[in-house]
Amino acid sequence: MYAYLVKTLIGVFSLDENRRVISFKPFSKDPSQIAMKLSEDSPSEIQQIRTEFKNFEFVSGNLKMEAFVKENLLKYAIEYSFVKNQVEFNQLLTKVNSELAKQKIKETSRRDQLVIHVNNAIEELDKSVNVFIERLREWYSFHFPEMDRMIENHETYVALIEKFGNRQNIDDKKLNHLKDRSSGMDFTEDDTNILKLFASDITKLYQLRESLLDYQSKLVKDVAPNFSAIAGDAIAAKLIAKAGGLERLSRMPSSTIQLLGSEKALFRFLKSRGRSKSPKFGLIYNHPMIQNSPRETQGKVARLLAAKLSIASRIDYYSKEYKADEMKKDLENKVKKILSSKE
Amino acid sequence: MAEMKQTKFHGVFKIDGRIATVNLVPGKKAYGEDLIKDRGVEYRIWDFWRSKPAAAIKNGLKELPLKKGMAILYLGIANGTTSSHFSDIIGKEGLIYGVEISGRPFRELLPIAEKRGNIIPILANARMPEDYENNVLSKVDLVYEDVASNDQVEILIRNCLKFLKPKGYAVIAIKSQSIDVTRNPREIYKECIKEFEKHFDIIDKVELDPYEKYHLFVVMKSKR
């Protein structure tokens, strides 16, 4: 005789061919326990039924039987006093499904999402540091306006203030001849001390930026080894962040990857229906391969690069097998061909 | 002080030009909305700017087929803002199956769902109803869809065929910007409606400007 096994969230049912319940092994009533049982292929309850009823041949996965039990699940749940009424049943459903969702979220490895945060943190940090530096330059220029022009590099500018404070103390080849003839007002010790403090905090932000960059390249190599090898760590991180994760990136056509980051120009082009020029590249514009080719062929190179990148992102998402070296060589050959056919 | 008044919509009340639903779990907010007490009953203000059905009501929707005890399939439940009001209206006997593809909004959704006990969170892709048919126990009275996708019309129809009761309702917020940004929204609405009319009778439709730009809210009833 045949009997059918149906796993539900209240337990395992076995039914005969006339849809009569032969046996019911309830799960424990704890939602997280239930969620665990549901994600197991054959929980112990199924084994129990199989050993208890040796005269039946058990079949699981019968769709009609499953649908039948599912439809009557509330009735069964009350009958076997698993719950008292529908409200309790609904609450159980909610809790179990919520546990299942939690499990699912935990299982899907989402290290690529970290790339998005690091990348955005770096961009935001850049913006903030710029604002601070502008303020520092304006402020310190009251005291030593000549230095603003002489020291164009921000980090050096900040470091000088942090180290010396008052312009009288500055010891720098470029500045020594200027400091005595400066048109700036005099600063008291309090005035300079607060600026030294400000400068030292900006320096710390620069250090933070360095650490973030280091971490980002490590992370991106781990998450997308092929993709980052071809794109370069910084561009790879930007593309993953822009796409919203490696999965989404791997589902993108290469033409989309080619234009990631140039949305404004792209939609201007689409809305004008061809009256304005279509963009040829987005974030990948900064890739050395595009930077080093002549203007007329940049579009073609971008297309090739994007095509390889989309393949690489798929390898990274699905297998992570390292193939970047061959791919790079192939790409370089193709680019060479384009460049030589030009001449 | 102004008084809460019943509107023509089941379970929806109005006060001072705002609308509200009766809080299913008194004292608890779902997303930072205002709570108002009137004659011993606590109401939650339903924000026009944050929830599309509320905006549709504000813009003159004639019928919203929500009743106590209903089972609803909600595609694109996100962090549970709109569904918390649905959950108020359908009450503890009702059930909302909330499908969402992204794990991020679950951080907000899960606590709301567990508190309310009538929202079932399902992490799945609404394009593939087969993936969650085991979670949906019975056919539903209403399918509501609010997803940002260019195949949102198809997604709704596919889910209705699978999960909607005969003569059940379907409600959708059509996002013309997700379907095609380059074209005129009105044209897109027309095409969608045409597609829907193969399966549904259109009961009402209303644009959601200014609360949501380029959105059309449509209430329909299955022909089958």
Delineate the domains of chain A, giving CATH numbers in brackets: 2-83 (3.30.420.220), 110-219 (1.10.287.4070), 225-341 (1.10.246.90)
Chain A residues in contact with B137 (beta carbon < 8 A)? 70-71, 73-74, 93
Contact assessment for residue B36 and residue B45, using Cβ atoms and an 8 Å cutoff: yes
Residue type, B68: K
Q: Looking at CA atoms only, how far is residue B122 from chain A in angstroms?
A: 6
**Residue labelled with tokens 């370069």:** A232
Q: Where are the domains of chain B?
A: 4-46, 52-222
Question: Full-prediction pTM beyond 0.90?
Answer: no
Q: Count the Cβ atoms, other than its own, within 10 Å of residue B203.
A: 17
Chain A residues inside the 8 Å CB shell of B116: 94
Structure-block tokens of residue B200: 């549904």
Mean pLDDT of chain A: 91
Q: Specify the range with the lowest mean pLDDT, choosing from A230-239, A270-279, A307-316, B162-171.
A: A270-279
**pLDDT at residue A270 in the model:** 85
Question: Chain B residues with CB inside 8 Å of A74's CB?
Answer: 137
Q: Measured between alpha carbons, how far is residue B177 from residues A289, B152, B187, B198, B202 in Å? A: 35, 12, 12, 23, 22
pLDDT per residue as tens digits for the range A32-65: 999 999 888 888 888 888 888 888 888 888 888 8
Residue A86 has pLDDT above 70, yes or no: yes
Asked if B137's CB is within 8 angstroms of A110's CB, the reply is no
State the complex-level ipTM. Answer: 0.88
CA–CA dist A66, B60 (Å, integer): 44
Q: What is the distance between the terminal CA atoms of chain A, rounded to a whole angstrom? A: 81
Q: Do B110 and A110 lie within an 8 Å CB cutoff?
A: no
CATH number of B4-46: 3.30.200.20
Residue contact B95–A93, C-beta within 8 A: yes
Helix (H, G, I), strand (E, B) or coil at B43: strand
Interchain pair B137, A271: CB under 8 A: no
Partner-chain contact A104 B138, CB within 8 Å: no
Which of B93, B94, B114 is opposite residue A98, by nearest beta carbon?
A: B114
Residue of A nearest to B184 (CA): A271
Q: Is the pLDDT of residue A108 over 90?
A: no
How many angstroms away from the CA of A330 is the closest CA of chain B?
36
Mean pLDDT of A62-91: 90
Please, which residues have CB within 8 angstroms of residue A10's CB and are 6 or more apart in sequence?
A26, A27, A34, A73, A76, A77, A80, A82, A92
Low-confidence spans in chain B with pLDDT less than 70: 1
Contacts of B181 in chain A (CB under 8 A): 267, 270-271
Chain A residues in contact with B72 (beta carbon < 8 A):
none
Among the listed residues A108, A76, A85, the one whose alpha carbon sits nearest the alpha carbon of residue A12: A76
Q: Give the one of B106, B138, B181 whose C-beta lies nearest to A101's C-beta.
A: B106
* Contact: B117, A90; criterion CB under 8 Å: yes
What is the Cα–Cα distance from B117 to B94, expressed in whole angstroms? 10
Residue (of B119, B106, B101) closest to A95 by Cα position: B119
Residue A240 has pLDDT above 90, yes or no: yes
pLDDT digits (tens, 9 = 90+) for A119-176: 999 999 999 999 999 999 999 999 999 999 889 999 999 999 999 989 889 888 888 8
Report the C-alpha dihedral over residues B57, B62, B64, B65, rounded to 10 degrees: 170
Across the interface, whether the CB atoms of A108 and B106 are under 8 A apart is answered no
Which residues have C-beta within 8 Å of that of residue B152, sequence separation ≥ 6? B145, B172, B174, B175, B178, B179
Alpha-carbon distance A70 to nearest alpha carbon in chain B (angstroms): 6
Could you count the other beta carbons within 10 Å of the beta carbon of residue A32? 15
B117–A87 C-beta distance less than 8 A: yes
What is the number of CB-based contacts under 8 A between chain A and chain B? 65
Chain B contact present for A20, CB below 8 A: no
Q: How many residues does chain B have?
A: 224
Nearest CA in chain B to A63: B134
Question: Which residues are registered as beta bridge partners of A57?
Answer: A2
Residue A273 confidence (pLDDT): 78
Average pLDDT of the segment spanning A115-119: 95
Q: At A236, list the tokens.
A: 């790879």
Return the pLDDT at A267. Answer: 86
For chain A, helix, strand, coil in percent to 5 are 70, 5, 25
Q: Which fold has domain B52-222?
A: Rossmann fold (3.40.50)
Residues 262-301 of A with CB under 8 A from B: 267, 270-271, 273
Looking at residue A342, its pLDDT comes to 62
What is the pLDDT, as a whole number, of residue A106? 84
Residue with tokens 């504000």: B58
Q: What string of DSSP letters covers A137-203?
A: HHHHTTT-HHHHHH---HHHHHHHHHHH-SGGG---TTTHHHHTT--SPP--HHHHHHHHHHHHHHH
Q: Tens digit of pLDDT for each residue in A7-41? A: 999 999 999 888 899 889 999 989 999 999 988 88
Give the relative orientation of helices A233-243 and A111-140 as an angle to the nearest 10 degrees. 110
CA distance A245 to A116: 7
